[in-house]
């Protein structure tokens, strides 16, 4: 019988979550849900100096915004708690595990001072300060004496000779010569475990079966596996995914490069569902090349085989496009509800306004500027009437506007509707031997004072009403005369 898939997202509470952080959470979530598994949230606060007050609540809020719900975690509980590493430390789980490794000969005490460590030579090939195992030769009596005297210590992993191999679900089998690995610290002098050690201990205790993380951790995987083997624990399946890069610098997407938080993106007007969809497609391609997914569809279709081995770029132009597409595809009633606050100052049919702008916006905040001409005709240059595509200029426009205004003035308020108005102007164009666009374009410019509007000329006539429309057409004629 196969084991239930259990994955975890384990952020450190050191600030906000951006697209890269959210991608890490989404990968773990989708991997679990696509296989009917369990998704866990664990807070890794072993680096107390970097912790930012309120950051845990930001993590909860961000996951909630994106619809990434965890089955187990600090706020919802679960059978493998506690789910905060500082709370787990209080149980003694990390120190007990480290002492067990010492007994097994897989770790050792190190009492070296900071000053002595700074005298060690740096490994030029790997740019690391490699420990020289000075304390490995201490006798049991010497160790006990130092412990009794209260000398500060760390516990280091003892890397054995030979090679370590592991299989990554994306990159296949990878072998590393152990001589390239340093005797990393497992327990710090403050009694807290290091990130790497706590990961192994907690993943085992929580029954984690699959670990998705960045390719920057590929070199650390052998250290993890040596720890698992030393304890005699099952090793989870690894999936190392390439990093996500900033589109401007090409470097890893990060806070240091000014990456906005998910809350920032929502405040800017991006829809959470568009953000999730965009993030899902970073470094992952669905089998059918579809680009639009609900969360449920992502849960059903996500597969490791669709993950890319190449870095992906955070293309904000594509995110903007996707946001606009989500508005276009949105249920009209929902859009009307969302846009109501932006439409309330316009004295027109709000439902019609919503229908006009829905297919033409990227953000709701664009609505006021898109419709501002309805409140008052802006001052505009008659150069707007020149349109090479429609073959119009000032002279052609004046030729069309004068009879158009006269014709429209003869239409009663009761007959003032889009269909009747379009038929009338279409008939005028035919009578004058002009293209429809040569009449409709100058009418639209005269009504709006803009080169682009959220609807056509006759829709504007209907929306503005008979009196306001005729007044604006008269203004246009005066400008052109």
Q: Catalytic residue numbers?
A: 255
- In eight-state DSSP terms, residue 138 is -
H helices present in 18-84, as ranges? 19-33, 55-66
Question: 176 with 164: CB under 8 angstroms?
Answer: yes
User: Is the dihedral angle over the CA atoms 19, 24, 29, 30 positive or is it negative?
Assistant: positive
Secondary structure element (H or E) that encloses residue 245, with its range = strand 244-246
- Closest Cα to residue 444, out of 399, 391, 397, 394? 397
- Closest Cα to residue 169, out of 304, 316, 34? 304
**Count of C-beta atoms within a 10 Å radius of residue 436:** 15
Q: How far is CA 186 from CA 102, 137, 166, 223, 360, in A?
A: 11, 18, 21, 11, 56
Question: 6 with 28: CB under 8 angstroms?
Answer: no
Question: How many alpha carbons lie under 13 Å from residue 260 in its C-beta half-sphere?
Answer: 12
Secondary structure element (H or E) that encloses residue 82, with its range = none
């Amino acid at each position: 019988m196969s084991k239930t898939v259990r994955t975890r997202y384990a952020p450190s509470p050191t600030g906000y979550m951006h697209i890269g952080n959210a991608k890490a959470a989404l990968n773990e979530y989708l991997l679990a849900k696509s296989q009917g598994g369990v998704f866990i949230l664990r807070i890794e606060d072993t680096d107390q100096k970097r912790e930012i007050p309120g950051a845990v609540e930001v993590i909860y809020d961000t996951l909630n915004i994106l619809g990434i719900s965890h089955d187990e975690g600090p706020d919802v509980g679960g059978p493998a708690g506690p789910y905060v590493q500082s709370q787990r430390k209080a149980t003694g789980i990390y120190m007990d595990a480290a002492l067990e490794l010492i007994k097994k000969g897989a770790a050792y005490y190190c009492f070296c001072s900071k000053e002595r460590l700074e005298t060690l030579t740096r490994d030029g090939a790997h740019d690391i300060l490699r420990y020289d195992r000075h304390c490995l030769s201490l006798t049991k009596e010497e160790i006990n004496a130092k412990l009794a005297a209260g000398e500060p210590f760390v516990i280091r992993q003892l890397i054995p000779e030979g090679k370590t191999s592991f299989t990554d679900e994306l990159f296949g089998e990878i072998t590393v010569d152990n001589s390239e690995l340093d005797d990393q610290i497992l327990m710090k002098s403050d009694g807290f475990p290091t990130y790497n050690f706590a990961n192994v201990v907690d993943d085992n205790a929580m029954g984690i079966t699959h670990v998705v993380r960045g390719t920057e951790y590929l070199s650390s995987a052998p250290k993890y596996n040596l720890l698992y083997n030393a304890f005699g624990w099952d090793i989870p399946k690894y999936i190392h995914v390439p990093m996500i890069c900033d589109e401007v610098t090409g470097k890893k997407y990060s806070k240091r490069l000014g990456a906005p938080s998910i809350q920032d993106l929502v405040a800017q007007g991006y829809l959470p569902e568009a953000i999730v969809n965009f993030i899902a497609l970073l470094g992952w391609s669905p089998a059918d090349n579809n680009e639009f997914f609900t969360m449920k569809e992502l849960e059903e279709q996500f597969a490791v085989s669709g993950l890319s081995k190449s870095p992906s770029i955070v293309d904000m132009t594509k995110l903007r496009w996707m946001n606009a597409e989500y508005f276009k595809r949105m249920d009209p009633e929902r859009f009307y509800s969302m846009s109501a606050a932006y439409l309330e100052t316009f004295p027109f049919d709000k439902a019609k306004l919503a229908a006009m702008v829905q297919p033409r916006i990227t953000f709701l905040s664009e609505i006021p500027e898109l419709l501002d001409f309805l409140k008052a005709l802006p001052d505009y240059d008659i150069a707007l009437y020149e349109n090479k595509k429609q073959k119009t200029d000032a002279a052609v426009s004046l030729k069309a506007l004068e009879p158009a205004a006269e014709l429209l003035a003869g239409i009663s308020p009761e007959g003032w509707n889009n269909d009747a108005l379009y038929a009338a102007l279409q008939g005028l164009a035919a009578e004058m031997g002009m293209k429809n666009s040569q009449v409709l374009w100058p009418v639209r410019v005269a009504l709006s004072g803009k080169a682009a509007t959220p609807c056509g000329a006759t829709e504007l006539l209907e929306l503005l009403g008979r009196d306001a429309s005729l007044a604006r057409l008269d203004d246009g004629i005066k400008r052109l005369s």
